[in-house]
Chain A
C-alpha cells in the first residue's frame, strides 16, 4: 500500500514539474538558451542515473559510459536521418542497440574487478569511438548532421521512464541482489546469487538508458562527432555519480542538475570548468569519499527516520 502511494506521489510530482516546464517554455519566460539547458539537464540526469545503476548499485566501476552514449546517438541518428523513420522508434532502437553493445562489452569484461574493469571499459569506450571515427557512412571525423527533434516533452517522458525503471529495479529482488554484489561479491556468490548474471544485467540496463540519452543527445544538437564521446565525456558522467554519492539515485540527479547549471554558465571558459570539475572530484574523494548523499535517498530526509537501505 505504502509503495503504491509513493508511486502516485512521484507521478504527480513528475506531471507537476512537466507542467511547470512546459508552461514556462510555452509562454516564452524561458528562452531558447534556458530550454536547451533544461533538455541538456535531462540528458545528463538520464546518463547519471544509468551509470548510477552500474557503479552505485552494482558496484562495477565502469568508466566507458560515453561509448554507449555514442552508440545510442549514432544509431538513432542513422534511423531518423538515413531511414527517415519516426523519432520515437529511433530512440528505442538506439537504446536497444546500446544495450546489445553493453551485453557484448559486459559479458567478457565483467569477469574483471575494480581497476582492471575500469581500464577495460575505458578501452572499450575508446574502441567504440574509434570505430565511429572510421565509418564513412556516419561521416567519419567530420561528424553527422542531425536535425533537431528533441523536445522538452520527449526528453521528460524518457527521464520519467528511466527513473521509474531504475528505482523499481533497485527496490526489487534483483536490485537487492545487485546491492549484495556491491557490498561483497564473494559473499554474494556464496549466498547463491548469480553474480555474473546480475552484473551483466545491470550493465545492459545501464547501457540501454545511456543509449536513450544518446538518442536525445544527437537530436538536440545539429551535429554529432566522435570527439563528443571521448573519455572526457565518460568522466563528466562519472563526476555526476561520484559527487552525488555512490549508491544514491537522488544524489546523482541532484549532482547532474547542479553541474549542468555550472557547466552551462562556464561554457565560455572550458578550462576553468574542467579545473573546477577536477578539484571537486579530488576534494570530494579526499574529504567525503561517499559523495554528497552517501547511499541515502532524498526521500529519507522527509517523514520518519528509517534505517539506511542497503548497508552503508
Chain B
C-alpha cells in the first residue's frame, strides 16, 4: 500500500500548494500581475505563526488566525506600496517590481533575524496515526487537509455569495466597466490581496506544522510551484487552482516514490512548460484569441 501512502502525502502537500495558488490566481485574475512576493507572504505567515506559538504560547487555531490577519494586512501593504502605482504600467515593469518586492521581503527577513532555520514545536497538534488499508495516516495530515478544504469552501462562499465577491468577479471581468458601475476598484483589489495573503499565511502555518522546518528562503520554491499549480488549473480560475495544487502535489509524491526525488522540482517545471506550450489557458480555461 505504498501508493496509497504516497497519494495521501501528495494530497497533503497539494493542499498547501492549492492554498498558496488561490492567492496567485485571485491576484492574477484581477490585475493580471504575477505576484512573485506571494511566496514570501507564505514565508512571513509561517514565521508569524511560529512566533505566535513559541513566543506567546498560542494554540494552533489562534496562531493560524493571527497569522492570517497579519498576512492580510501585509499583503494589502505590499499592494499599496509597490503595485498601486503600476496599474497602467507595462506588464514587464509590474513583473520586475514583483520580483524586487519578493527579494526585498526575503532579504529583509534575513536582515532582521538571520538566515538560520527554525524548528516548529511539534506538540501543536495531536499526532496519532492510524491505519487505512495498510497506509499510515497521521491525524495531523487529516487535520491539515480539513483546514485547507474548509478555507477553500469559505473562499468559494466569499467569491460567489457575498457582495465583495461579486465586486471581485466584476473587476476581474472588466475593470473599467466595473468602475463605471460604481464599484470601488481600489478597495476591491485591496480585499483581493487581503484574502489571498491570508490564505498564504494559513498555508505558511500549516506548512510549518507539517514539515516542522521553516527558513527565510522557504517561500521561493513553494511559491513558484503554487504558481505552476495556478497555471495548470487555468490562471484566474479558483477551482482550477485547487485542482492544480492537488495534481502537482500528487505528481511530486509519485516522482519521489519512483526514486527520482532529486528531480522533483524539475517535474513541476516540466509540467509548467508542457502546459504553457500545449494548453496555455490551463485545464479549466477557455482559449481566447488575442485581438489587435
Distance in angstroms between the alpha carbons of A310 and B180 in the assembled complex: 37
Q: List 13 A-B contacts (CB under 8 A).
A: A115-B34, A119-B231, A120-B273, A120-B276, A122-B224, A127-B269, A238-B99, A242-B96, A271-B111, A278-B104, A281-B97, A285-B86, A289-B93
Q: CB distance A279 to B104 under 8 Å?
A: yes
**B90-106 contact mask (Cβ, 8 Å, vs A): 1 or 0:** 11111111011111101
> Contact check: which of A130, A274, A286 meets B103 at CB < 8 Å?
A274
Distance in angstroms between the alpha carbons of A63 and B102 in the assembled complex: 15
Counting chain B residues whose Cβ lies within 8 A of the other chain, the interface size class is: 35 or more
Q: CB distance B277 to A61 under 8 Å?
A: no
Distance in angstroms between the alpha carbons of A119 and B85 in the assembled complex: 23
Q: CB distance A115 to B86 under 8 Å?
A: no
Interface stretch, picked from B68-76, B240-248, B258-266, is B258-266
Q: CB distance A289 to B262 under 8 Å?
A: no
B269 surroundings in chain A (CB, below 8 A): 123-124, 126-127
**A91-112 contact mask (Cβ, 8 Å, vs B): 1 or 0:** 0000000000000000011011
Other contacts beyond A55-B92, A285-B86: 16, CB < 8 A? A115-B32, A119-B34, A119-B276, A120-B276, A123-B269, A123-B272, A123-B273, A124-B273, A130-B265, A271-B111, A280-B100, A281-B97, A285-B93, A285-B100, A286-B97, A289-B90
A115 surroundings in chain B (CB, below 8 A): 32, 34, 91, 95
For B104, give the chain A residue with the smallest CB separation.
A278
B277 surroundings in chain A (CB, below 8 A): 108-109, 111-112, 120
Residue from the set B97, B100, B104, B269 with the largest chain A CB neighbour count within 10 Å: B100
Q: CB distance B99 to A134 under 8 Å?
A: no
Give how many A residues have a beta carbon under 8 Å from the other chain's beta carbons. Answer: 40
Q: CB distance A282 to B82 under 8 Å?
A: yes
B94 surroundings in chain A (CB, below 8 A): 285
In the complex, whether B227 has a CB less than 8 A from a CB of chain A is yes
Q: CB distance B110 to A114 under 8 Å?
A: no
Quote the shortest CB–CB distance from B265 to chain A (angstroms): 6
> Contact check: which of A111, A120, A127, A281 meets B99 at CB < 8 Å?
A281
Question: Which residues from 32 to 52 on chain B have a C-beta closer than 8 Å to any C-beta of chain A?
Answer: 32, 34
For B114, give the chain A residue with the smallest CB separation.
A271
A127 surroundings in chain B (CB, below 8 A): 266, 269-270, 273
Quote the shortest CB–CB distance from A280 to chain B (angstroms): 8
In the complex, whether B292 has a CB less than 8 A from a CB of chain A is yes
Q: CB distance B108 to A275 under 8 Å?
A: yes
In the complex, whether B280 has a CB less than 8 A from a CB of chain A is yes
Distance in angstroms between the alpha carbons of A120 and B115 in the assembled complex: 29
A122 surroundings in chain B (CB, below 8 A): 224
Distance in angstroms between the alpha carbons of A190 and B94 in the assembled complex: 28
Interface residues of chain A: helix, strand, loop or mixed (majority): helix
For A234, give the chain B residue with the smallest CB separation.
B99
In the complex, whether A246 has a CB less than 8 A from a CB of chain B is yes
Question: Which residues from 173 to 190 on chain A have a C-beta closer than 8 Å to any C-beta of chain B?
Answer: 186
B228 surroundings in chain A (CB, below 8 A): 123
Q: CB distance A278 to B92 under 8 Å?
A: no
Known contacts being A119-B231, A131-B266, is A278 close to B96, with CB within 8 Å? no
Q: CB distance A61 to B231 under 8 Å?
A: no
In the complex, whether A152 has a CB less than 8 A from a CB of chain B is no
Q: CB distance B99 to A271 under 8 Å?
A: no
Q: CB distance A126 to B276 under 8 Å?
A: no
Distance in angstroms between the alpha carbons of A301 and B131 in the assembled complex: 75
A111 surroundings in chain B (CB, below 8 A): 277
For B227, give the chain A residue with the smallest CB separation.
A119
B132 surroundings in chain A (CB, below 8 A): none
Quote the shortest CB–CB distance from A32 to chain B (angstroms): 29
B111 surroundings in chain A (CB, below 8 A): 271-272, 275
Distance in angstroms between the alpha carbons of A285 and B94 in the assembled complex: 8
In the complex, whether A277 has a CB less than 8 A from a CB of chain B is yes
**B128-154 contact mask (Cβ, 8 Å, vs A): 1 or 0:** 000000000000000000000000000
Distance in angstroms between the alpha carbons of A116 and B115 in the assembled complex: 31
Q: CB distance B292 to A134 under 8 Å?
A: no
Distance in angstroms between the alpha carbons of A286 and B266 in the assembled complex: 33
For B107, give the chain A residue with the smallest CB separation.
A274
Quote the shortest CB–CB distance from B12 to chain A (angstroms): 24
**A273-297 contact mask (Cβ, 8 Å, vs B): 1 or 0:** 0110111111001100100000000
Quote the shortest CB–CB distance from A295 to chain B (angstroms): 13
A63 surroundings in chain B (CB, below 8 A): 99
Distance in angstroms between the alpha carbons of A111 and B115 in the assembled complex: 39
For B100, give the chain A residue with the smallest CB separation.
A281
For A126, give the chain B residue with the smallest CB separation.
B269
Known contacts being A124-B269, A186-B290, is A278 close to B103, with CB within 8 Å? yes
Q: CB distance A278 to B34 under 8 Å?
A: no
In the complex, whether B89 has a CB less than 8 A from a CB of chain A is yes
Q: CB distance B266 to A61 under 8 Å?
A: no
Known contacts being A275-B108, A281-B103, is A118 close to B273, with CB within 8 Å? no
Question: Which residues from 247 to 292 on chain B have a C-beta closer than 8 Å to any C-beta of chain A?
Answer: 262-263, 265-266, 269-270, 272-273, 276-277, 280, 290, 292
Q: CB distance B95 to A134 under 8 Å?
A: no
